[in-house]
């Protein structure tokens, strides 16, 4: 999105480097993401939202601003289709039993993208697209989305708000971008605002008190994770205090629920995380937990 932008290609390189440095890269199965079919995008996004991306791709070297911090370049349409395609392909592979679970190292992120428009670094909502694919194509009856990004997943909440087959649980720093109004808990939504400077003990307690009872009551047949790592104490884009062990612990709690109700089926997709070292280390902790290494 420009040389100045924190949502940069260096993020994926930092993850790749840390997976190699941690000596787990060779233990993982790697797959290249396909381009998502338009029908998959249309399950979550209006034609206008799709057109904003598809119809405004600029010439090579130029940028088209969607909002103050979200821009398109010449490759953005294909990049957005490939990010969503990764989430859909991972969903297919996990449901087919080809792999136990999946982590999608993708850009651009997705959880701010509303059904009606891109925003906040996000073009299409990869997690919402994958969740609706699991429901509408594979016929699952209940899916859950777990979002641990420092920012509220407003696009995902909007996409799933009226979907009784989907439960969303999250925490997010508040007040903070995207400055959403705090919505009360509902049968399919438990999104917990926390103040800046909150650390791992606060998050772990809300997982125990809020997330886990909701997840156990819902009994999801598959779980999707919006895996943002910008709540890390070293990430200056947010103001929280999590560390790698907190991400590993949350992942283990989600895995226990998935093992009980969902045959272990989890698809996790990268969202935020902009301190490159902290991002790489946190993804390693998350992936090691998923792979039980």
Sign of the CA dihedral with 278 first, then 279, 280, and 285 last: positive
Check residue 219 and report its DSSP letter: -
Stretch 97-123: mean pLDDT, rounded?
Answer: 98
Q: What is the largest CA-CA distance in the chain?
A: 51
222-227 sheet: strands from edge to edge = 101-104, 266-270, 222-227, 143-147, 166-173, 189-194
What pLDDT is recorded for position 144?
99
**Would you state the structure tokens that stand for residue 249, as one six-digit string?**
């612990």
pLDDT tens-digit readout, 191-226: 999 999 999 999 999 999 999 999 999 999 999 999
- Are 282 and 17 in contact, with CB atoms under 8 Å apart? no
**CB under 8 Å, gap of 24 or more: what pairs does 256-263 form?**
257/144, 257/212, 257/215, 257/216, 257/220, 257/223, 258/101, 258/220, 258/222, 258/223, 260/216, 261/219, 261/220, 261/221, 262/220, 262/221, 262/222, 262/223, 263/221
What pLDDT is recorded for position 275?
98
pLDDT tens-digit readout, 217-238: 999 999 999 999 999 999 999 9
Distance of alpha carbon 266 from alpha carbon 198, whole angstroms: 27
pLDDT tens-digit readout, 232-274: 999 999 999 999 999 999 999 999 999 999 999 999 999 999 9
Distance of alpha carbon 273 from alpha carbon 281, whole angstroms: 11
Distance of alpha carbon 84 from alpha carbon 94, whole angstroms: 16
Distance of alpha carbon 126 from alpha carbon 156, whole angstroms: 9
Over its C-alpha atoms, the chain yields an Rg (Å, rounded) of 17
* Cβ density class 232-269: b for 16+ within 10 Å, e for less: bbbbebbbbbbbbebbbbbbebbbebbeebbebbbbbb
> Residue ranges of the domains in the chain?
10-291
Whether CATH 3.40.50.1970 fits 10-291: no
**Element (H or E) spanning 166, and its range?**
strand 166-173
- Are 116 and 50 in contact, with CB atoms under 8 Å apart? no
């Amino acid at each position: 999105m420009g040389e100045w932008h924190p949502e940069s290609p260096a993020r994926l390189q930092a993850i790749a480097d840390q997976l190699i440095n941690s000596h787990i890269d060779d233990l993982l199965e790697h797959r290249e993401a396909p381009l998502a079919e338009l029908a998959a995008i249309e399950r979550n996004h209006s034609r206008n939202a799709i057109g904003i991306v598809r119809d405004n791709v600029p010439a090579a070297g130029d940028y088209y601003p969607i909002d103050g911090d979200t821009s398109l370049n010449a490759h953005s349409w294909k990049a957005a289709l490939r990010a969503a395609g990764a989430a859909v392909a991972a969903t297919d592979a996990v449901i087919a039993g080809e792999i136990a679970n999946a982590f999608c190292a993708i850009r651009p992120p997705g959880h701010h993208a509303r059904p009606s428009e891109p925003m906040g670094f996000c073009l299409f909502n990869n997690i919402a697209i994958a969740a609706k694919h699991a429901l509408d194509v594979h016929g699952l009856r209940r899916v859950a989305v777990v979002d641990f990004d420092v920012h509220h997943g407003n696009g995902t909440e909007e996409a799933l708000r009226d979907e009784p087959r989907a439960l969303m649980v999250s925490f997010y720093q508040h007040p903070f971008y995207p400055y959403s109004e705090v919505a009360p808990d509902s049968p399919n939504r438990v999104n917990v605002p926390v103040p800046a400077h909150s650390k791992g003990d606060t998050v772990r307690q809300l997982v125990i008190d809020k997330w886990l009872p909701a997840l156990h009551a819902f009994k999801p047949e598959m779980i999707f994770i919006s895996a943002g790592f910008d709540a890390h104490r070293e990430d200056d884009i947010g103001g929280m205090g999590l560390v790698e062990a907190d991400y590993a612990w949350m992942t283990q709690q989600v895995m226990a629920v998935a093992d009980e109700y969902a045959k272990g089926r989890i698809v996790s997709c990268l969202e935020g995380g902009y301190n490159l070292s902290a991002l790489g280390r946190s993804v390693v902790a998350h992936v090691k937990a998923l792979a039980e290494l």
